């Protein structure tokens, strides 16, 4: 067993003149929930978007350093980005179902990836069950996904990512717009998913990071301030800045 | 102190004025429709629709001109739609805004501003003379295609741009390629807008005369190949009225032209409503 799933080596990231990440190095272990916390503009979302190369969509960016997924350098020009994104799924902060039926949302990507057609029904059911949405929508899979509530839409987006059967799931503040009950459902789902997936959770809600993650990194002004077991970071932080942030004395 | 009107008074005045302007617009439209219907509808018999014109159009029907209109319009739309939509996709999805896109867009806007009679002359020089297609359905269709191309590019571009950027992000994050994203999500969402552009183009093509006088000619025979000359309904109307051949038949033709444009718009509108429902 390798000791890491993803490994960042001195990753720096520039938007034009602005440096969004500065020499970030860290390792993410297989089947853990890794939390990334930090104030707005600290580089959390940027880091997430490097991991499945969604950062390619932004013009005029420059990346240095290395990022390994298993033993593949995903920043290398040879990396097959489409395949990478199938292995590393991303759930965005705003629930964004496509204007299709619930079923279509789930099977669109697997079908285009060439998955077996006969398995689609099964895939719909398992991914909805994993995202704890099955019971609520099993009788209306052909209804438009846009009719679901915000919390349901976000779980559908999670299910949609799961239906791709990725290895890593990236979550960019997945509960920022949700009520506490929907949030609790998503967090519970994540703890179930941990058995099979490596999960990276970005959140600026420190309580959520404390509740839901195994290890945590604190990012401030494009730099990693501290990395460690979540329990340890939230009880005896080594850096004063981390202490300030988690106890709400930031800024 | 300058005396000021009470806001309630200006509000009422503005409302009345705007209402009157809208009413006037509507009145003009109704006047045209009623006027042409009164003069044209009495001519509208099955015989008028399905018989070929005789004696320069003084007698008989307008069947061959209906067919010529359909051929020319269909050809123009079939040629211009893929070109226009393709250009729009390229401009919106495959390039970043820059001098190249600005030049293409500027060019397309200039093309939209060219008077149709000049475009007709151009079609005459290029297709009729230089390429030797003669006065024909082909020359007419090609020139009309050039005429409606900017409309299709413009409306398609707007429609594609209006598709939320997040949809593309979602698709990419799910491992769809750019082409899959465009064909599966972006174009279906933009389809109502694209359809509107194409329907506008159909309307423009049906009503066009100047371009076709120069390029498709005015033969009254039934066109059977792409290289036959053909007289469209609009051209037929123009010649009947202009040469004083038969005003009743001219109005009959106009009425049919008007009704078909209304019907096509209605059909497009219904189709669009369905598409919008399906994708939302």
A151 occurs within a structural domain: no
CB-based contact A111:A120 (threshold 8 Å)? yes
A102 occurs within a structural domain: no
What is the pLDDT at residue B212? 95
B8 occurs within a structural domain: no
The model's pLDDT over A149-178, given as tens digits with 9 standing for 90+, comes to: 988 999 999 999 999 989 999 999 988 878
A213 occurs within a structural domain: yes
Q: What is the 3-state secondary structure (H, E, C) of chain A?
A: CCCCCEEEEEEEEEECCEEEEEEEEEEECCCCEEEEECCCCCCHHHHHHHHCCHHHHCCCEEEEEEEEECCEECCCCCCCHHHHHHHEEEECCCCCCCCCEHHHHHHHHHHHCCCCHHHHHHHHHHHHHHCCCHHHHCCCCCCEHHHCCHHHHHHHHHHHHHHCCCCEEEEECCCCCCCHHHHHHHHHHHHHHCCCCEEEEECCCHHHHHHHCCEEEEEECCEEEEEEEHHHHHHCCCCHHHHHHHCCCCC
Backbone phi and psi for residue B65, each to the nearest 5 degrees, phi listed first: -75, -30
A194 occurs within a structural domain: yes
Q: State the pLDDT confidence band at A58, using cuts at 50, 70 and 90.
A: confident
Q: Considering Cα of B134, then B138, then B140, then B142, what sign does the dihedral take?
A: negative
Please tell me which of the candidates B166, B167, B174 has its beta carbon nearest to residue A85. B174
- The average pLDDT across B159-168 equals 93
B38 occurs within a structural domain: no
The span from the CA of A77 to the CA of B149, in Å, is 38
A84 occurs within a structural domain: yes
Number of domains comprising chain A: 1
What is the pLDDT at residue B279? 60
The span from the CA of B211 to the CA of A51, in Å, is 56
- The average pLDDT across B219-223 equals 90
What is the pLDDT at residue B31? 95
B173 touches chain A (CB under 8 A): yes
What is the pLDDT at residue A56? 84
Contacts of A69 (CB under 8 A, 6+ apart): A5, A6, A51, A84, A87, A88, A167, A168
Task: Find the CATH number of the domain harbouring A30.
Answer: 3.40.50.300
What is the pLDDT at residue B69? 95
Q: Is the ipTM of this complex over 0.90?
A: no
In a mutational test of the B interface, the residue from A48, A58, A84, A100 whose CB has the highest number of chain B CBs within 10 Å is: A100
Q: State the pLDDT confidence band at B119, using cuts at 50, 70 and 90.
A: very high
What is the pLDDT at residue A2? 60
Q: Check whether A49 has a pLDDT greater than 70.
A: yes
Number of domains comprising chain B: 1
A240 occurs within a structural domain: yes
The span from the CA of B65 to the CA of B218, in Å, is 9
Q: Which residue does chain A place closest to B188, by CA atoms?
A: A99
> Which residues does chain B have within 8 Å of residue A83's beta carbon, measured at their own beta carbons?
175
A198 occurs within a structural domain: yes
B20 occurs within a structural domain: no
- Cross-chain residue pair B175–A96, CB shorter than 8 Å: no
Q: Which residue does chain B place closest to A147, by CA atoms?
A: B280
Smallest CA-to-CA distance from A70 within A166, A6, A165 is with A6
The model's pLDDT over B230-279, given as tens digits with 9 standing for 90+, comes to: 999 999 999 999 998 999 999 999 999 999 998 988 888 888 888 777 66
- Cross-chain residue pair A96–B167, CB shorter than 8 Å: yes
In a mutational test of the A interface, the residue from B171, B172, B175 whose CB has the highest number of chain A CBs within 10 Å is: B175
What's the domain range around A85?
6-97+168-246
The distance of A1 to chain B (nearest Cα, Å) reads 27
> Which residues does chain A have within 8 Å of residue B184's beta carbon, measured at their own beta carbons?
108, 112
The distance of B265 to chain A (nearest Cα, Å) reads 26
Q: State the pLDDT confidence band at A140, using cuts at 50, 70 and 90.
A: very high
A230 occurs within a structural domain: yes
> Which residues does chain A have within 8 Å of residue B171's beta carbon, measured at their own beta carbons?
98, 109
What is the pLDDT at residue A185? 86
- Cross-chain residue pair A109–B176, CB shorter than 8 Å: yes
Task: Find the CATH number of the domain harbouring B188.
Answer: 1.10.3720.10
The span from the CA of A168 to the CA of A162, in Å, is 10
pTM metric for this prediction: 0.84
Give A41 or B209, the one with higher predicted confidence: B209
**E runs forming strands in B32-116:** 53-54, 59-60
What's the domain range around B58?
46-278
What is the percent of chain B with per-residue pLDDT over 70, rounded to a whole number? 99
Q: State the pLDDT confidence band at A182, using cuts at 50, 70 and 90.
A: confident
What is the pLDDT at residue B272? 80
- Cross-chain residue pair B96–A59, CB shorter than 8 Å: yes
């Amino acid at each position: 067993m390798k000791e890491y799933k993803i490994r960042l080596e001195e990753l720096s990231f520039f938007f034009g003149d602005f440096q969004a990440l500065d020499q970030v190095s860290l390792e993410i272990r297989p089947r853990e929930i890794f939390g990334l916390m930090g104030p707005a503009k600290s580089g959390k979302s940027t880091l997430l978007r490097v991991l499945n190369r969604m950062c390619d969509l932004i013009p005029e960016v420059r990346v240095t350093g290395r990022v390994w997924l298993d033993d593949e350098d995903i920043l290398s020009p040879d990396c097959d980005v489409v395949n990478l994104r199938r292995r590393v799924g991303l759930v965005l902060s705003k629930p964004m179902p496509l204007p299709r039926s619930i079923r279509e949302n789930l099977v669109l990507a697997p079908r285009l990836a060439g998955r077996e057609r006969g398995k689609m029904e099964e895939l719909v059911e398992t991914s909805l069950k994993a995202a704890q949405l099955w019971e609520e929508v099993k009788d209306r899979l052909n209804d438009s996904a846009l009719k679901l509530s915000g919390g349901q839409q976000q779980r559908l987006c999670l299910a949609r990512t799961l239906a791709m059967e990725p290895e890593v799931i990236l979550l960019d503040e997945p509960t920022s717009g949700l009520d506490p009950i929907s949030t609790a459902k998503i967090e519970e789902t994540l703890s179930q998913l941990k058995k099979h997936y490596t999960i990276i959770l970005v959140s600026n809600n420190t309580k959520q990071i404390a509740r839901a993650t195994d290890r945590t990194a604190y990012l401030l002004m494009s730099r990693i301030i501290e990395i460690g077991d979540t329990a340890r970071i939230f009880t005896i932080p080594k850096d004063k800045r981390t202490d300030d942030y988690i106890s709400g004395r930031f800024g | 102190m300058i005396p000021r009107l009470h806001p309630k008074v200006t509000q009422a005045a503005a409302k009345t004025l705007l209402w009157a302007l809208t009413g006037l617009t509507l009145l003009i439209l109704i006047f045209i429709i009623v006027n042409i219907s009164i003069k044209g509808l009495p001519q509208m018999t099955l015989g008028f629709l399905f018989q070929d014109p005789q004696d320069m159009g003084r007698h008989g029907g307008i069947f061959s001109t209906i067919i010529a209109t359909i051929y020319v319009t269909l050809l123009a739309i079939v040629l211009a739609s893929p070109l226009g939509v393709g250009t729009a996709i390229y401009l919106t999805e495959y390039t970043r805004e820059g001098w190249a896109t600005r030049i293409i867009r500027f060019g397309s806007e200039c093309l939209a501003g060219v008077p149709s009679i000049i475009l007709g002359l151009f079609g005459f020089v290029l297709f009729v003379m230089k390429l030797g297609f003669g006065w024909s359905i082909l020359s007419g269709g090609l020139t009309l295609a050039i005429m409606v191309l900017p409309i299709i590019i413009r409306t398609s571009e707007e429609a594609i741009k209006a598709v939320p950027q997040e949809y593309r992000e979602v698709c990419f994050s799910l491992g769809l390629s750019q082409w899959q994203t465009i064909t599966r999500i972006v174009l279906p969402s933009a389809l109502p807008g694209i359809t509107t552009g194409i329907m506008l183009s159909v309307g423009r093509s049906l009503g066009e005369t100047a371009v076709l006088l120069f390029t498709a000619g005015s033969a009254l025979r039934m066109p059977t190949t792409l290289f036959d000359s053909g007289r469209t309904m609009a051209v037929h109307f123009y010649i009947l009225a202009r040469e004083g051949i038969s005003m009743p038949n001219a109005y009959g033709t106009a009425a049919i032209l008007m009704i078909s444009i209304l019907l096509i718009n209605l059909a497009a509108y219904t189709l669009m409503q369905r598409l919008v429902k399906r994708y939302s």
